[in-house]
Structure 1
Amino acid sequence: MGKAQVLAKVTEDLRRGHYHPAMQRLASLTAAHPDDLELRARRAALYRQVGNMVEAGRWGFLSEDATTPEVAAFERAHPSAWRRLRLLRVNADTVDHLGPVAGARLTRLIEQAGAEGLGRVTWTENGPEPAPPGFWSVTFPCLVATAFGVSAVGLAVIGLVTVIRWIF
C-alpha cells in the first residue's frame, strides 16, 4: 500500500475517532520513511492531540512547530543525549534540511551527545553512532603495555641467568 493510501486511512481513522489504528499506521510509515519530516510532524500532531507530550516532543523534535514543553518532556523522559538522538530514528544528518529552530535544536543535541563521553557523532546507514576511536587512543596504550611486558620478561631472564650463575 502506498504512502498516500495509508495517509488517507489515517485521516479516516482520525475522523472516526480511532486514534490507536492511526498511530499504528503513522508508526509504520515513519519506519518506512524515517527522514520524511512531514510524516514526523503528522505523528507529533497526533500525539499532541491525545496528550502524549513525550512522544509529541520526540516526533516534533525536527519540526519548527514543536513546543518548548513538548521538547522538555522528551528530554526529561530520556536524559541521555545519545538515547534521545537514537530515539529520533533519523538515518542521516538532516541539519541542513531543517528550519533554523529545529536545526539549532538538532545541532545542540549532537553536541551534547558528543560531550557525553562516547565520542563525536558519526552517521552510518543505521543512524548516529559514536565515532570509532582514533589510532593513538587505541594503539598507544597497547604499545606502552607491550614495552612494559617485554621489559619485565627481559629482566626476569636476566635475573634467572644471574641466579643460575651464582648456583654453578
Structure 2
Amino acid sequence: MAKPEVLAKVDADLERGHTHLAAQRLNSLIAADPFDLGLRARLAAVHRRTGNFAEAGRWGYLTEDVTEAELRAFAKAYSDQLRALVLHGETPRDLGPLAAARLAALPHPPVFSPRQVPAQRVEAYKPPEDTSAGEVIFGLLLMVCAAIGVISVIRWFL
C-alpha cells in the first residue's frame, strides 16, 4: 500500500479513536523510511494523545516540538536512547537546531570502517598451569558420578 493511502487510513483511524491501530500503521511507515521526520512527528502526536509520554518523547526526539516532560520520560524508559531512535547509525537530514543538538549530545558508539576494525587476536587454548588439588579431586568425583550414572542406566535397560 502506498504511503498516502496508509496516511489516509491513519487519519480515519484517529477520527474513530483507534489510536493503537494508527500507531501501528505509522510504525510500519517509519520502519520503511526511518528518516521521515514528519512521520515521527505524527507518531509522537498519537502517543501524546494517549498520554504515553515516553513514546511521544522517543518519536518526537528529532522534532522541534517535543516537550521536556516527554524527553525525561523517554530517557527514563530507554537506557540506550540512540538505539531506541532506530536510526541505523545515520543522521537524518533537515533536523532543526534543537533536535540536532539533542542528537549530538547522545553518546554515539564508535563507527569503524572495514579497514579500521581492530584485528582480533586468536590465541591457542592453554589449560591453566596451576591446577589446585581441590579442582583435581572435584573433576575425579564428577567422572565417578557420571560413570555410576551410565552403569545405572545400562542396568535399567537390561
Note whether the superposition's TM-score is higher than 0.5.
Answer: yes
Name the CA shift for 1:16/1:46 in 2 (closer, same or farther; >3 Å).
same
CA contact (8 A) 2:57 2:71 kept: yes
Whole-angstrom CA distance in 2 between matches of 1:55 and 1:84: 11
Whole-angstrom CA distance in 2 between matches of 1:75 and 1:67: 12
Greater helix percent: which structure? 1
1:65 equivalent in alignment to 2:65: yes
Aligned length: 123
Deviation at 1:6, TM superposition (A): 0.3
Partner of 1:107: 104
What residue identity is the alignment partner of 1:48? Answer: R
Whole-angstrom CA distance in 1 between matches of 2:88 and 2:112: 7
SS in 2 for 1:44: helix
1:74 equivalent in alignment to 2:74: yes
Structure 2: runs of 5 or more not aligned: 127-158
Aligned pairs for 1:127-138 (under 5 A) are 134=118
Partner of 1:86: 83
What residue identity is the alignment partner of 1:46? Answer: V
Partner of 2:56: 56
Structure 1: runs of 5 or more not aligned: 115-119, 125-131, 150-168
What residue identity is the alignment partner of 1:28? Answer: S
What residue identity is the alignment partner of 1:107? Answer: A
Q: Deviations over 1:143-162 (max 9, x none)?
A: xx99xx9xxxxxxxxxxxxx
Partner of 1:153: none
Whole-angstrom CA distance in 2 between matches of 1:101 and 1:20: 29
Deviation at 1:93, TM superposition (A): 2.7
Whole-angstrom CA distance in 1 between matches of 2:93 and 2:51: 30
What residue identity is the alignment partner of 2:56? Answer: A
Whole-angstrom CA distance in 1 between matches of 2:30 and 2:8: 15
Partner of 1:21: 21
SS in 2 for 1:97: coil
Deviation at 1:41, TM superposition (A): 0.4
Identity of aligned residues (%): 48
CA contact (8 A) 1:53 1:73 kept: yes
Using the size of structure 1 for normalisation, the TM-score is 0.65
Using the size of structure 2 for normalisation, the TM-score is 0.69
Greater strand percent: which structure? 1
What residue identity is the alignment partner of 1:15? Answer: E
